[in-house]
A and B are shown apart, each in its own frame.
Chain A
Amino acid sequence: QVRLVQSGAEAKKPGSSVKVSCKASGGTFTTYGIHWVRQAPGQGLEWMGMIIPIFGTANYGQKFQGRVTISADESTTTAYMEVSSLRSEDTAVYYCGRDRGVIEGYYHYEMDVWGQGTTVTVSS
């Protein structure tokens, strides 16, 4: 049974950076997409981007392009999401989620395994 375990809560100052980790255990890591989704307090879900570790290239939502970096380390089965130039609006719970991978030759981007979430608070 695949499990995703995220790093702990972070408190950051505006203008700084934060890097959140997401360690996978109990299943295949390299051929499934790892997505990052955030949820601001009292708000809905917002997709940030994803990476398929075996390919190594990340895709981002336009809103996050240039300020977010998603990476993966196959040797430790860990994905990372870094946000730079933090502002108060980045205060949110950040989730990683693993998609359903390749089924009958097509990638399926529904997320069926989720991490527990990491709270990032940005405040001066």
Chain B
Amino acid sequence: EIVMTQSPATLSVSPGERATLSCRASQSVTSNLAWYQQRPGQAPRLLIHGASTRATGIPARFSGSGSGTEFTLTISSLQSEDFAVYYCQQYNNWPPITFGQGTRLEIK
């Protein structure tokens, strides 16, 4: 099973600033990595697939990068609605598909 490790667990950033979230895989997942946003009480929402492609309707301030075992989600200028929990997910070697434990992005 591929273990996905996200860091940091909690990130405090001020509105308008940049946020950088990391995700590391225990072995290569090539570019088969997705990022999701989850707001309280809501289902996850797909942000990024293929490590770097924004999903339909996702604002350009969200960007993903990386391949192999190291990945980054960057939010360029934080809006109030961006404060949420973010998960990475690998689908390269499965079953099982695995998620990271999440990064909580909170207002500083």
Contacts and interface: CB of A to CB of B under 8 A. Distances in A.
A47 interface: yes
Contacts of A76: none
Contacts of B46: 110-112
B43 A115 contact: yes
Interface residues of A, number: 25
A44 B87 contact: yes
A114 interface: yes
Interface in A18-57: 35, 37, 44-47, 49-50
Q: How would you classify the secondary structure of chain B's contact residues: helix, strand, loop or mixed?
A: loop
Nearest to B41: A117
A37 B87 CA distance: 13
A35 B99 CA distance: 13
Contacts of B36: 45, 111
A90 B22 CA distance: 29
A112 B49 CA distance: 9
B49 A46 contact: no
A46 B56 CA distance: 24
Interface in A81-116: 95, 97, 100, 108-112, 114-116
A8 interface: no
A44 B95 contact: no
A114 B89 CA distance: 15
Contacts of A50: 97
A112 B55 contact: yes
A44 B91 contact: no
Contact of A110 (B38, B49, B102): B49
Contact of B95 (A46, A61, A97): A61
B73 interface: no
A100 B91 CA distance: 12
Contacts of A63: 96
B61 interface: no
